[in-house]
């Protein structure tokens, strides 16, 4: 029982421990100081209210089925492909190359960073393909290392503040809205638990617990960073977590942070592979994706999704996309679609429940749809390079919509194909 | 037969292109990091860090005083012609 809860917790928190989240925390503290800490608390509550709708969607026959029945097949498929699926593929080169740099620069300088990135992806893929049990154990181990290291450095940082490094300034409206946006984005990903095939009341509790604890970890790490590195230096740095860990605990702190980055990447990649394949299978079950991904009839088909996501991620790395600035814009575009997806799931739950006597859930879903819809627009407007972001989003949406329509037409013409 | 000729022609063109690329690459000098360290305080040397994306972002090590160039807009580069340029 405890093991099952630990697995659920580790799957829910996995993506939130990625190095990208740590960059956002560092830069958020740099721009907005203590306001960012407050923003994380507000964002945690906002996500927790939406977690209820996501859990309801997951329990009621699966999210793809509910979205298809309430919003239509093409919007449902497009939203899922643009958000989690595109994110799973685009995040691979960025997360893995960050882990590669951490390994190369912190631990073994003679080992090439991209060699490590490919090796890490291969090892995680083989483990996911070989055994679900081994994948769960890997998830727990990597989360324990990442959370343990982050908490240790946070406690060290908070207990020994450097008064000379503290910069107190009032954030401008732009900085405050940017901080709020970052706070919302660092907590995206807990819902991957609901699509890993784990659906029970305990899992809902595990997802909300992971969300609240992740919020608390980021508050602690944000405070430790605030107490040790001036905001102006955090804003300039591309690796604020490395800067803060070195200031807090010297070279050992840097090594602990290196371990946090690598294990956080493993946790994120592992859950993205498992959840991405499972999502393809659920979409296939709901008639939104080709039947070859449906693992309910034949288990090996679930592995096709893992191979596809891992292969595409490896392909992007081989093409040098990790070193391209536009890959980050594409990743942010997918993340924005994930925020929009939260709004759409809330909308689907609202449409499904409004005729029934489930007032609390209906109001919660309506609130979630409105709040995440507004955040979606607000974050795009507040983005410093909103034009490039919108362009990437349009291309991504067009590609995924064409894919969804093409598959829809294929199904209409040739039937289910089962 | 015609296909064979085309393939030979393609191979010959590839060989010429590779040779030209290699010959061109020879013109660009490379230096070691130890040599670069000695040049860092030299005012006649400008160092450009041309890493992009995660290559730039994820690395802890940045060269002190190095300038950055937007690789998407090479037309906008204004490189000093009277100085020694080092690209990383």
Task: Give me the interface pTM, i.e. the ipTM.
Answer: 0.82
pLDDT confidence of residue B5: 60
B13 has a pLDDT exceeding 90: no
Q: Cite the beta strand spans of chain B per DSSP E.
A: 45-49, 67-68, 84-87
For residue A418, what pLDDT is reported? 47
- Do B60 and A323 lie within an 8 Å CB cutoff? no
Mean pLDDT is lowest, of A227-236, A249-258, A383-392, B31-40, for: B31-40
Lowest mean pLDDT among A41-55, A122-136, A287-301, A345-359: A287-301
* Residue range A334-384, pLDDT digits in tens: 999 999 999 999 999 999 988 776 678 899 999 999 999 999 999 999 898
Closest residue in B to A236 (Cα) is B57
More confident position, A38 or B72: A38
DSSP β-ladder status, B84-87 and B67-68: unpaired
Q: Does A327 touch chain B (CB under 8 A)?
A: yes
For residue A56, pLDDT beyond 80: yes
Residues A162-173: what's their mean pLDDT?
88
Look-up of token digits 């040739």: A414
Interface of B with A in 4-63 (CB under 8 A): 51-61
Give the Cα separation of B49 and B65 in Å (integer).
Answer: 10
Summarised one tens digit per residue, pLDDT across range A118-149 is 999 999 999 999 999 999 999 999 999 999 99
CB contact under 8 A, A322 and B61: no
Residues of A in contact with B51 (CB under 8 A): 323
**Predicted local confidence at residue A198, as pLDDT:** 62
Confidence category of residue A305, pLDDT binned at 50, 70, 90: very high
- Are A188 and A21 spatial neighbours (Cβ–Cβ below 8 Å)? no
Helix, strand or coil for residue B50?
coil
DSSP type of residue B64: T
User: Is the pLDDT confidence value at B52 over 90?
Assistant: no
The answer to whether the beta carbons of residues A361 and A349 sit under 8 Å apart is yes
What's the pLDDT at A411? 83
- B8 confidence band (pLDDT: 50, 70, 90): low
* Separation CA A205–CA A213 (nearest Å): 12
pLDDT for the residue A416? 57
Residue A49 pLDDT > 70? yes
**pTM here?**
0.89
Q: Check CB contact of B88 with chain A, cutoff 8 Å.
A: no
pLDDT number for residue A78: 93
Inter-chain CB proximity A98 and B53 less than 8 Å: no
What single-letter DSSP state applies at residue A170? P
DSSP A200: S
Q: Predicted confidence band at B25 (pLDDT cuts at 50, 70, 90)?
A: low
Name the more confident of B26 and A213: A213
pLDDT classification of A333: cutoffs 50, 70, 90: very high
Residue of B nearest to A330 (CA): B53
Q: Which band of pLDDT confidence, cut at 50, 70 and 90, is reported for residue B10? A: low
- Phi, psi torsion values for B47, nearest 5 degrees: -105, 130
Residues of A in contact with B72 (CB under 8 A): 325-326
Size of interface A-B (CB pairs under 8 A): 52
Task: Identify the CA nearest to A389 among candidates A342, A322, A335, A330.
Answer: A330
HSE-CB at A157 with a 13 A cutoff on CA atoms is 32
Mean pLDDT in residue range A77-106: 96
Q: What is the pLDDT of residue B21?
A: 54
Cβ proximity of A222 and A29 under 8 Å: yes
- Three-state SS at A141: helix
Min CA distance, B82 vs chain A (Å)?
A: 30
Identify whether the C-beta of residue A285 lies closer than 8 Å to the C-beta of residue A65.
yes
Contacts of B54 in chain A (CB under 8 A): 93-94, 97-98, 101, 322-323, 327-328
Task: Output the six-digit token pair for A64.
Answer: 């793809």
Q: What do you get for the CA distance between the two ends of chain A, in Å? A: 37
* Beta-carbon contacts of residue A216 (< 8 Å; ≥ 6 apart): none
Tokens of A236: 């300039």
Q: Beta partners for B67?
A: B48
Q: Is A323 on the interface with B (CB under 8 A)?
A: yes
| Interface contact A102, partner B, CB < 8 A | yes
What is the chain A residue with the closest CA to B57? A238
Q: Which range is least confidently modeled, A52-61, A282-291, A331-340, B32-41? A: A52-61
Which single residue is written with the structure tokens 């643009």? A82
Yes or no, beta carbons of A325 and B60 under 8 Å apart: no
Average pLDDT in the A269-282 region? Answer: 94
Residue B74 burial (CB < 10 Å; 0-12/13-18/19+)?
exposed
Hey, are the CB atoms on B56 and A94 less than 8 Å from each other?
A: no
A244: nearest Cα among B60, B29, B71, B69: B60
């Amino acid at each position: 029982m405890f093991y099952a809860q630990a697995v659920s917790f580790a799957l829910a928190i996995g993506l939130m421990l990625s190095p990208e989240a740590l960059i956002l925390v560092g830069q958020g503290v740099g721009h907005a100081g203590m306001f960012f800490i407050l923003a994380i608390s507000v964002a945690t509550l906002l996500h927790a209210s939406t977690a209820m709708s996501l859990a309801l969607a997951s329990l009621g026959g699966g999210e793809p089925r509910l979205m298809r029945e309430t919003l239509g097949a093409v919007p449902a498929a497009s939203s899922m492909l643009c958000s989690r699926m595109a994110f799973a593929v685009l995040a691979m080169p960025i997360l893995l190359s960050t882990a590669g740099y951490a390994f190369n620069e912190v631990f073994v300088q003679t080992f090439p960073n991209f060699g490590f990135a490919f090796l890490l992806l291969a090892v995680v893929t083989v483990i996911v393909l070989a055994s679900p049990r081994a994948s769960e154990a890997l998830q727990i181990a990597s989360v324990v290392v990442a959370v343990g290291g982050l908490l240790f450095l946070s406690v060290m940082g908070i207990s020994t503040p450097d008064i000379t490094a503290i910069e107190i300034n009032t954030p401008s409206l732009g900085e405050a809205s940017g901080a709020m946006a970052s706070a919302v984005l660092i907590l995206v990903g807990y819902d991957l638990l609901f699509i890993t095939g784990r659906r029970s009341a305990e899992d809902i509790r595990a997802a909300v617990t992971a969300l609240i604890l992740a919020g608390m970890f980021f508050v602690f790490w944000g405070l430790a960073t605030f107490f040790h590195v001036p905001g102006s230096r955090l804003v300039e740095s591309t690796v604020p977590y490395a800067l803060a860990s070195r200031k807090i605990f010297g070279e050992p702190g840097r090594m602990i942070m290196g371990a946090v980055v690598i294990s956080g990447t493993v946790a994120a990649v592992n859950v993205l592979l498992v959840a991405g394949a499972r999502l393809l299978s659920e979409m296939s079950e709901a008639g939104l994706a080709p039947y070859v991904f449906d693992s309910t009839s034949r288990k090996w088909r679930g592995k096709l999704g893992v191979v596809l996501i891992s292969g595409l991620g490896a392909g992007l790395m081989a093409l040098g996309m990790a070193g391209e600035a536009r890959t980050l814009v594409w990743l942010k575009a997918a993340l924005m679609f994930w925020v929009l997806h939260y709004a759409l799931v809330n909308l689907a739950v609202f449409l499904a429940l409004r005729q029934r006597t489930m007032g609390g859930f209906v109001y919660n879903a309506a609130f979630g749809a409105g709040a995440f819809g507004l955040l979606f627009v607000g974050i795009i407007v507040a983005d410093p390079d909103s034009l490039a972001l919108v362009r990437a989003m349009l291309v991504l949406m067009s590609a995924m919509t064409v894919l969804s329509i093409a598959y829809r037409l294929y199904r209409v013409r040739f039937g289910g194909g089962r | 037969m015609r296909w064979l000729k085309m393939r030979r022609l393609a191979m010959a063109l590839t060989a010429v292109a590779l040779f030209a690329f290699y010959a061109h690459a020879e013109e660009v000098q490379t230096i070691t990091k130890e040599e670069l360290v000695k040049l860092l305080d030299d005012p006649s040397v400008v160092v450009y860090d041309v890493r992009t994306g995660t290559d730039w972002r994820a690395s802890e090590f940045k060269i002190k005083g190095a300038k950055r160039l937007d690789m998407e807009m090479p037309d906008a580069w204004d490189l000093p012609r009277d100085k020694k340029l080092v690209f990383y």
